């Protein structure tokens, strides 16, 4: 197997970068390592991308003992790759592993594994401005269990895929539907943990909304049904005047890394930033609404339908959303100076 560094900076995979969406496009390599329940993860290796072997009684298959993360590598004009705040993904996985009774890689091993995977698949990283290389770390209970218990073995792996826009609308404004029949998370549950078991339950509501012409669903809190929580796979913000608000992470909402970053950027831009309970009724008076996440970036919301009432919001170039999006992407891609040490550059 050739070393990942055998790929030169100018070499690209045979991909139509202009038609790239957000779908799986298998790349050359993945990273994989394992550990038993009483040991640390060993040194991982870069292997050809392909299927992995699991026991039918693996903890992840029987009891959904698994976590995942998502981050991106961006290509600079000089051919180098940029990772954005990878340590935050590592820290979040460690927190999730503690909640799910799993063994996790160290922060250093996690970040190093991301670097290795990105470099090994460098030719699949889109040209500047055409997208990014999405990196998907997985931590799964791969050891066999029958009774309900932590798995005796864990596998940590990372695979990659070139991506562009997450929603089919591309960069066009989203139209969301407020979901009241189903809940995304319950109080004192795992809503704040990036466990794999949080995502399949949203598919029914999401598919139903998409079949009605909506982009996605916006969930309310499970107790009062009065307060905003998050969209299926991203956080939500509302803006009114100079005030930007987002639901507080009270145990049911995932503490998104893009969410955290946008809060910091908005504060630096002079906005009043609030993390608090956000009643759904505040949508009526909001100037703007936007979503944030690794996959979606910063996505404007054009409308939200709540109990058959459509509420429209300001979108376009002269918006807070666009201002924050431009700053975020500029830092992520190296076009704006990184003054906070968020970006990790790898050759």
Catalytic residue among 115, 168, 194, 204: 194
For residues 55 and 217, what is the distance between their CA atoms, to the nearest angstrom? 35
Phi, psi torsion values for 171, nearest 5 degrees? -95, 5
Location of structure tokens 């109990």: 307
For residues 304 and 43, what is the distance between their CA atoms, to the nearest angstrom? 48
CA atoms within 13 A on the CB side of 8: 2
Q: Is 168 annotated in the active site? A: no
341-345 contact pairs (CB < 8 A, 24+): 342/84, 342/85, 342/261, 343/82, 343/83, 343/84, 343/85, 344/82, 344/83, 344/84, 344/86, 344/111, 344/115, 345/76, 345/80, 345/81, 345/82, 345/83
Q: Where are the beta strands (DSSP E) in 232-340?
A: 235-240, 243-247, 272-276, 288-293, 297-306, 309-312
Residue 16 to residues 13, 79, 172, 342, Cα–Cα distance (Å): 9, 19, 21, 30
As separate numbers, helices (DSSP H) first and strands (DSSP E) second, the chain gives 6, 17
For residues 312 and 283, what is the distance between their CA atoms, to the nearest angstrom? 9
For residue 118 the two structure tokens come to 């990105």
Q: Where are the beta strands (DSSP E) in 142-188?
A: 153-163, 174-179
Partners of 240 in the β-ladder: 243
For residues 196 and 140, what is the distance between their CA atoms, to the nearest angstrom? 9
Q: Indicate the helix (H) or strand (E) that contains 31.
A: strand 29-36
For residue 74 the two structure tokens come to 């961006």
User: Which residues have a catalytic role annotated?
Assistant: 194
């Amino acid at each position: 197997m050739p070393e990942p560094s055998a790929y030169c900076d100018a070499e690209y995979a045979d991909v139509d970068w202009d038609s790239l969406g957000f779908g799986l496009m298998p790349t050359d390599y993945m990273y994989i390592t394992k550990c038993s329940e009483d040991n640390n993860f060993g040194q991982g290796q870069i292997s050809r991308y392909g299927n992995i072997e699991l026991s039918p009684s693996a903890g992840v298959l029987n009891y959904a003992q698994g976590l995942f993360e998502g981050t991106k590598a961006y290509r600079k004009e000089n051919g180098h790759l940029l990772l954005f705040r990878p340590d935050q993904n590592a820290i979040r996985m460690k927190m999730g592993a503690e909640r799910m009774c799993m063994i996790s890689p160290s922060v250093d091993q996690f970040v190093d594994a991301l670097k290795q995977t990105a470099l090994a698949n460098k030719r699949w990283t889109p040209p500047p401005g055409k997208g990014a290389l999405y990196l998907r770390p997985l931590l799964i209970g791969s050891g066999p269990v029958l009774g309900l218990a932590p798995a005796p073995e864990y596998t940590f792996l990372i695979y990659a895929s070139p991506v562009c826009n997450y929603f089919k609308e591309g960069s066009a404004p989203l139209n969301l539907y407020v979901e009241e029949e189903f809940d995304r998370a319950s109080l004192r549950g795992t809503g704040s943990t990036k466990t794999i078991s949080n995502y399949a339950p949203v598919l029914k509501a999401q598919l139903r909304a998409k079949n009605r012409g909506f982009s996605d669903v916006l969930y309310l809190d499970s107790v009062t049904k009065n307060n905003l929580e998050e969209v299926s796979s991203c956080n939500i913000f509302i803006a009114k005047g100079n005030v930007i608000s987002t639901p507080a992470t009270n145990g049911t909402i995932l503490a998104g890394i893009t969410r955290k970053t946008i809060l910091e950027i908005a504060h630096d831009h002079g906005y009043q930033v609030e993390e608090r309970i956000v009643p759904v009724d505040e949508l009526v008076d909001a100037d703007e609404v936007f979503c944030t996440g690794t996959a979606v970036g910063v996505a404007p919301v054009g409308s939200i339908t709540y109990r058959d009432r459509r509420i429209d919001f300001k979108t376009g170039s002269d918006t807070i959303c666009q201002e924050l999006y431009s700053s975020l992407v500029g830092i992520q891609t190296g076009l704006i100076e990184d003054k906070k040490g968020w970006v990790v550059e790898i050759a």
